[in-house]
Each structure stands twice: as structure tokens, then as C-alpha cells.
Amino acid sequence: MIDAKGLVVAPGFIDTHSHSDLDVLLRPQVMPKVMQGITTEFLGQDGVSMAPLPVEYISDWRKNIAGLDGVSDEIDWTYQTTDNYLKMIEKVGPGINECYLVPHGNIRMEAMGLGNRQPTDEEIEKMKEITRREMEAGAFGLSTGLIYIPCAYSESKEIIEMCKVVAEFDGVFVIHQRSEADTIVDSMNEVIEIGRKSGVRVHWSHFKVAGKKNWDKIDTVLSQLEQARAEGIRVSFDQYPYVAGSTMMGAILPPWVHDGGTNKVIERLRDPEMRKKMRYDMENGIHGWDNFVDFAGFENIYVTSVVTEKNKDAVGLSITQLAELRNLDAYTAAFDLLMEEENAVGMVDFYGVEDHVKLFMARPEMNACTDGLLAPGKPHPRLYGSFPRILGKYVREEKLMSIEEAVRKLTFKAADAMSLKDRGLLKEGYFADITIFDPNTIEDKGTFVDPIKFPVGIEYVIVNGKVAVEHGKHTEVLNGKVVRNKR
């Protein structure tokens, strides 16, 4: 019996964009999520994740994903397939429910390696076979990140063919689109065309328009969404409620630097002539490439995580500040850091303004996410506070929407976008994932300076019928499940 007088009893929150892929195997409680009321999360994001992973690529791939998912020698990396990876999660017993999207980059790697080239017809057929295998293993859809390697090397053709397979399962295509900045209009058209030709439902990751010089494109981008919906293409997006993003710092490098994998990246960073070419491209741009240094600036890109003790002093500094500390120019400071850390560097980049956060949050296509990176150091505060921030800042304080509409965006809207059944509502016959919070006190507490803080106001969290959080404290109960798409 729980006395919920004065509290809100809601379905468990659903995080449609998570990076707990490695961390759930090491710390199955997934504390940053359950303590903010999240009972289900979706792994396998941005086209680069844990599975599938052919044995011959383990070493290089671990370095490639280190900036997103972290590093560890504590697990056996020879699992190879999504089915085996999900069985590993089942074995450790997760604290919340875990769903998986099969990543485009992993599929491409298994079918044709990490090179910068277009696939043959036979290789596209191989990608479709792998996609089908992983969908049958329980993946909810396909993810891609068209700024990440090797996804960035692909053209629409191969993605459309894989999405046709996903559509057979009523799965979702989740995309970090090719551009969220200078060429976002073209990028939106590409995504919509993929949905049109494949029949798949389309879901944009962490929807935004980055960089002041691109804010005049917002009306066009929103009209593209509306036109797609009018055409009958099923479209949705998720969003974290902050004006800054976070990813692996290797994303600041031009795409060609990543050709062949992380070991090649490190080789090129050691070559002074290659550095000159990198700098030229970063200063002058490459069409269709999202240049973080251009739209954010070195002064607005902060180091959030590293691996070695040598560079621990870089964590929390902007690249500009790091350059001053090292008595180097900003390009050299960034290149040296990536080289010495073998690409395992996380970053936060400030790109937007509050008005745009609120504009996208109010859209009918929107549901919430964290996009939380669990690498050590100073992570983006969204990892600990995204969902309470929406309910505290944007609902209670700014009255952007009703509490009912906000709860819907944190629960059922997310489940519907991901085609997740039997969760997201308080309904007889559904799984008992329930979050109980105080609408008068709920608030995120982490900041960019001090991000590792649990929120307040989350009183109870129930996962599959068992209480995981009681009076704001974790009970040590781990009752999550690996949820597989059954279609």
C-alpha cells in the first residue's frame, strides 16, 4: 500500500534515446535513469553500438564507440550478435527495462568493413540479411548516425533497403540525421525520402537546429515535418530539454579522418601533414558535414570525459581553456587530446537557445529522451535530470504545457513512437511500470559544472510490479527485463 496523496501517479517514464549499452552490463541498476523515474530505455542508438560485432573488429570498434558508451575490459566482447548481447543483459539482471535498436554502422561493418566506399549489390543484400536476423532477435528497429563512422559513408540507397526490412516488422527507423546545422533542410528531405520509399516509421533523434546562422531554417524544417505527416509518413522525434548537446569529441574531425576505423584516426593525428589538412577542412568546411567548431566554436565545446590520468585535468575545460592550459593553439590542443586518448573523449557543445527548446518541446511529434552518456568525468546533466527538468522547469515554472500533456510525452507518446506495446499507460493488462512524483517539488539538480546529482521529487518508481525507488531512495531491487520486439 502506497499513500500517494498529493502526488502524481504516472506510467513509468520511457527514454527513447539512451547510451547505457555498456554500462548496464557493469552497473545494472542504471541509477541515473531509475532515480529520475525512467523504467524503460532504448539502447543501440546513433548507428554505432554494441551489437552485432564480428570478432575481427572488436579492438577497433571498442575504440570507435568509447566516446559514447565508455570502455571496459570487464566483459567478454566475443558475443557477436544482438541475441547474445541481449542475453548478457538478461544474465546480469537489469534494474529497468532494456530495448534495443540494431545499429546501421554495426551492420555495415559486418557486411563490408569500415572503409569509405559504397556497397555492392551483394553487400546490400548482406546488410538486409543481417538486419532481418537482428530484428528477429527482438530489435525494435534500425538506428543510424550519419555523422558517425561508418554510417557517414553511406548513401540513402543502402538505408532504404534496410528500412524495407524493418518496415516488415512494423519497426522504427531512428536517425541522427546527416546535418542538424548548415544543410539541415537537405538532410530532412533525405530522411523523409527514406520513409517514403521504404514505408518505415521515422523518428529523429535529439531534434534540433544547431548554430545561430541556421536558426532562420527552423520554420522550413517544421513545415517539412508537417508535409511528411500530411503525406502519410509516420514521423516523430525525441528531445532532451537543454541548449547544449553531447557526443564523442572525435565528431569534430572531418569524416575522411575516420576512414578505416579508430586506429587509422590515431595514425592520421600523428601526421603533421594530415593535421594541416584537418585544420583546413575544419576552418573552411565540407559540404554536408556538420562542423561542430563552426556552429559551436572551441570556446563552447567542453571536455566531459577521458580515459588516462595524464589528461584528467582537461575534464570540465573548454577546448579554448585547454589550449591556454597547454600553451597551444586550439586545434593542436584538440588533436593532441584525441590522439593521446585514442579517440575516447566525450564532449558537451552549446548550440542553441531556450526559445527553440520550448518550440520543439511543444510540437505534437515530440517525446522526451536523455541521450545520456555514462562515460566517467563530467557528463551532460541530461543523464541525471532530463525528465524531472521537463516537469519542474517547463511545466510547473514556465507553464509551457499541462502536466497531463507532459506526462503523455514522457510515457505513452514515447511507447507509441517506438511501437512498444503493453507499456506507457496505467491500464489493466499492461506491465506495472509506475512513477510517482511530487509535482510541487520535482526538479533536476545537476548543472554543467556539477552534473552528477540525482533529482528531487521522484518519490516511488515501480518496475514490473516491484518497488525500485521508495521515498526517493533506491531499494536495491532489480526487476527490469530485456524487452524484445515480438512481431
Average pLDDT score over residue span 468-483: 98
Report the predicted TM-score, pTM, of the whole model to 2 decimal places.
Answer: 0.94
pLDDT (tens digit per residue) in 74-110: 999 999 999 999 999 999 999 999 999 999 999 999 9
Q: pLDDT tens across 411-449, in order?
A: 999 999 999 999 999 999 999 999 999 999 999 999 998
Q: How far apart are CA 96 and CA 100, in angstroms?
A: 13
Residue ending a domain, among 296, 325, 350, is: 350
Would you state the pLDDT for residue 150?
95
**Average pLDDT in the 449-475 region?**
97
Indicate whether 189 and 213 sit together in one domain.
yes
Domain count, the chain: 2
pLDDT of residue 470: 98
Please report the beta strands in 270-359, taking only residues with DSSP state E, as ranges in sequence order. 301-305, 346-350
The pLDDT value given to residue 301: 96
User: Among the listed ranges 237-241, 254-258, 318-322, which one has the minimum average pLDDT value?
Assistant: 254-258
- CA–CA gap between residue 421 and residue 251 (Å, rounded): 35
- Contact assessment for residue 345 and residue 305, using Cβ atoms and an 8 Å cutoff: yes
Please compute the mean of the pLDDT values over residues 31-41 and round it to a whole number. 98
Task: Give dist(CA 246, CA 266) in Å, integer.
Answer: 22
SS3 470: strand
Give yes or no: residues 343 and 375 share one domain: no
Boundary-marking domain end, from 307, 324, 350: 350
Report the phi/psi class of residue 403: left, alpha or beta, with left for phi > 0 and alpha for psi in -120 to 50.
alpha
Same domain, yes or no: 341 and 357: no
For residue 376, name the pLDDT band (cuts at 50, 70, 90). Answer: confident
18 belongs to a structural domain: yes
Interatomic CA distance for residues 435 and 467, integer angstroms: 10
Give me the domain span that covers residue 272. 248-350
Summary mean pLDDT of the chain: 96
Say yes or no: 131 and 165 in one domain: yes
pLDDT for position 155: 97
Separation of alpha carbons 4 and 10, rounded Å: 11
Task: Identify whether residues 179 and 234 lie together within a single domain.
Answer: yes
pLDDT of residue 67: 86
Q: What is the largest CA-CA distance in the chain?
A: 68
Q: Could you read off the pLDDT of 181-209 as tens digits, one per residue? A: 999 999 999 999 999 999 999 999 999 99
pLDDT score, position 102: 98
pLDDT above 90: percentage of residues in the chain: 95
Q: How many CB atoms lie within 10 A of CB 376?
A: 15
CA–CA separation, 131 and 43 (whole Å): 16
| Any domain includes 481 | no
